[in-house]
A and B are shown apart, each in its own frame.
Chain A
Amino acid sequence: MSTTRPRRGLAAVILLSSLVLAVLGAAALAGCGSDASAGGEASPAASASSAPITVADGTGATVTLQQPAVRIVSLAPANTEIAYAIGAGDKMVAGTSYDDYPEEARSLPKTGDFANPNVEKIASFNPDLVLAAGGIQDKLRSKLEQLGMKVYVVDPKTYDGVMTDITNLGQLTGSTEQAEKVADTMQMVKDEVQAQVASASRPVTFLEIYSKPLMTAGSGTFIDDMITLAGGANLGATAGSGFPTFSTEVLFKNDPDVYIADSGSMGKPGDISKRAGFAELTAVKDGHVYVIEDSILARPGPRLAEGLQELVKMIHPEAAAAQ
């Protein structure tokens, strides 16, 4: 990457900015793409083991396998989690350096880290299905496909999009039933949460992705979708799409009711009062500051259901307690 010597100021900044955009798409999100509702149409004959399996991934691209995958390489921790959750863990031949859930995923051979997957290394595992992420890995797809690999990009924009990806991967790995079960559980949690907050007010909620500079989850992200599902009004959605920087002054002006920080940005809720002026925020005064574990909020896998339940407890403690 670029050096820290800003003699070439503008070029360096542009380079860094594009890197940041890419990284945001990746590190915070583990992927973002286009609309997920497009995906998920399995061919009618998918159940017959001899017929080809065809699904559309989050980017709208069609992925066709002649038979269910048996050698899977995952390029994102979320993808690894999905594979294990749907019972395709035994077909995983490689993961990333950041895979930490479930426990056995840690011992998988590695293809490199999330931002720098190594194409040669991926090819060396001779996979019949590569599960990539969007954003930073966009360019990787064509490279891998040129080498004859099948690539499915997990790039959901909504909570439902994650369920779609899970059922699609069920098709591709021949674990349809288990995948349906996982998706059903996610749906059940969603319905439950929807019922809890149906008649409740919508507290203004701010979600901190990073503090210096202050960054939040904007519109068109599954995090925004989850805040909405959990009955909050996402303040970050007013700042645009993706993961935008957010003015501290505007945060104060809007004075959110609930302040939630990603665990990657804040250690414990008490830390917030150490920041100048933050003690004046309503959320801080009322004790509505929370820290949510990054992997259940920002990793688009089956554990988003846990993330959603956590969010409801934070945004609507009264509704969650009444349950």
Chain B
Amino acid sequence: MTRLARTSIWPGIALAGGVFALCLLVSLAFGPASLSLGEVWHYVTTGPVQGDLPNAIFWQIRLPRVLVACLVGAELAVAGVILQDLFLNPLTDPYVTGVSSGAALGATIGIVLHLSNLPWMTVLALIGGFLTLGVVWMAARRRGRIDIFVLLLAGVTISYLASAVVTVLMIRANQDMYAIVYWLMGSFSGRGWPDVEIALVAVPFMIAPLFFAREMDILLQGEKRALELGVEVERTKRVLLVTAGVLTAIAVSVSGIIGFVGLVVPHIVRLLVGPGHRSLLPVSLLLGASMMGIADLLSRTVIAPNEIPVGVVTTFVGAPLFVYLLRRGRKG
């Protein structure tokens, strides 16, 4: 784009980075076990120690959980940006491609087969997500090109199909029913370092879209216009769709299905920094991570020792913020 846009992306990114750093600190500093700030600092500086229970609370319980929450938030936000702009549809969220429902089906099978305490459930969720992506992809491919509208419809249809199967399994699985329901609601409770490792796999996929920022900007004007301007439309679509699919599958496989972040964070960021992808993508990544971190902080502290489902918190935090920004955006 213009030189002005090129020079003005950094303040926004720096500010978002600051917000994220603050959210990360707050999330780590507070928790239901009420370690004092001094204690937290002590554990940070001493590192993980065997045989020290409060140290384990910080290093084995709180830190990995916060990291997983932030990573999942970032993954969903980036996937949301990609899919909204590819589908040119503001109501799109990372779950429309059917990937999440496929992942949910995989996880449900894991629960029903009592593989729930092993990494198997995550593996099955990933397999379910990728299989769905493959099916939707095949459905939408015609003479070497991907029809975005067919893809959207196929995704929604597969979504419903997978949900129906999940429901059937749920009814058949008496003892496991609540486990499935809780998984579908999404949660970061009990997530540890293995989950962080899985979520970290998504980092290259969060960065990859940045290299397609220019193409994504042009695609906003429609595929025809993009072709005229020399964009390799099909290749770009392929890369971006797979990227969004992988991000969603990984996010869902560690956290279950958490709504609102992938839908609303991209919109909030567009209102703040505009539609240009060189700033939209990194700022969405950082604010997605921030929002999920804070949502999980509230989820584990507000009614401690109980927990509020994190999906409820993302909605309660996100909805008023979004409405406020929408109104402010109109006036400006």
- Chain A positions near chain B (C-beta within 8 angstroms): 1, 3-7, 9-10, 12-13, 16-17, 19-20, 23-24, 27-28, 97-98, 113-116, 210-214, 238-240, 244-250, 252-253, 255, 264, 266-267, 271, 274-277, 280-281, 294
Q: Does B210 contact A (CB under 8 A)?
A: no
Cβ proximity bits B155-190 to A, threshold 8 Å, 1 near / 0 not: 010011011001100111011111101111101011
Given A115-B171, A212-B189, A280-B60 in contact, is the A4-B257 Cβ separation under 8 Å?
yes
Interface centre among B93, B172, B185, B309 (most CB of A within 10 A): B185
Q: Which residue of B lies closest to A30 (CB)?
A: B174
Q: Are A211 and B190 in contact (CB under 8 A)?
A: yes
Asked, given contacts A4-B163, A247-B307, whether A20 binds B178 with beta carbons under 8 Å apart, the answer is yes
Q: List 17 A-B contacts (CB under 8 A).
A: A3-B159, A3-B160, A4-B104, A5-B95, A9-B314, A13-B309, A17-B312, A23-B177, A97-B174, A210-B179, A212-B182, A244-B306, A246-B306, A247-B32, A264-B176, A277-B192, A294-B175
Task: Verify A264–B189 contact, CB threshold 8 A.
Answer: no
CA distance A4 to B183 in the complex (A): 10
Is B306 touching A247 in the complex (CB atoms < 8 A)?
yes
B162 touches which one: A4, A244, A250 (CB < 8 A)? A4
A249 x B181 contact (CB < 8 A) = no
What total count of A-B pairs have CB within 8 Å?
Answer: 181
Out of A6, A210, A214, name the residue touching B257 (CB < 8 Å): A6
User: B301: nearest residue on chain A (CB-CB)?
Assistant: A247
In contact, A250 and B33 (Cβ under 8 angstroms): yes
Provide the residues of chain A in CB contact with B187, threshold 8 Å: 212-213
**CB-nearest residue of chain A relative to B195?**
A276
Interchain CB contact under 8 A, A4 and B305: no
Contact indicator A7/B91 (Cβ below 8 Å): yes
**B266 interface residue (CB < 8 Å to A):** no
How far apart are B117's CB and chain A's nearest CB, in angstroms?
Answer: 6
Shortest Cβ gap from A98 to chain B (Å): 5
Q: Determine which of A114, A238, A249 lies in contact with B33 in the assembled complex, contact meaning CB atoms within 8 Å.
A: A249
* Interface residue B311 (Cβ < 8 Å from any Cβ of A): yes
Given known contacts A5-B159, A247-B306, A210 and B182 CB-to-CB distance under 8 angstroms: yes
Question: A3 and B32: CB pair below 8 A?
Answer: no
Per the CB 8 Å criterion, the residue count for chain B at the interface is 69
User: Contact check: which of B32, B57, B93, B101 meets A4 at CB < 8 Å?
Assistant: B101
> What are the 5 tightest A-B residue pairs by CB atom distance, in nearest-first order?
A277-B60, A6-B259, A276-B192, A213-B189, A249-B33
- Inter-subunit contact B57/A249 (CB<8 Å): yes
Q: Could you tell me if A212 and B33 are in contact, using CB atoms closer than 8 angstroms?
A: no
Q: Which residues of B contact A23 (CB under 8 A)?
A: 177-178, 181
Task: Report whether B64 and A13 are in contact in the complex, using a CB–CB cutoff of 8 Å.
Answer: no
When the two chains form their complex, are residues A19 and B57 in contact, meaning their CB atoms are under 8 A apart? no
Chain B min CB distance to A170 (Å)? 27
Q: Which of B267-306 contact A (CB under 8 A)?
A: 300, 304-306
Which of B8-16, B48-56, B141-149, B234-242 has 4 or more CB atoms under 8 Å from chain A?
Answer: B48-56
A9 to B263, CA, bound (A): 10
| Structural contact, B101 and A5, CB atoms closer than 8 A | yes
Name the contact of B100 in the complex, choosing from A4, A239, A280 (C-beta under 8 A): A4
B185 partner, pick from A13, A116, A250, beta carbons under 8 A: A13
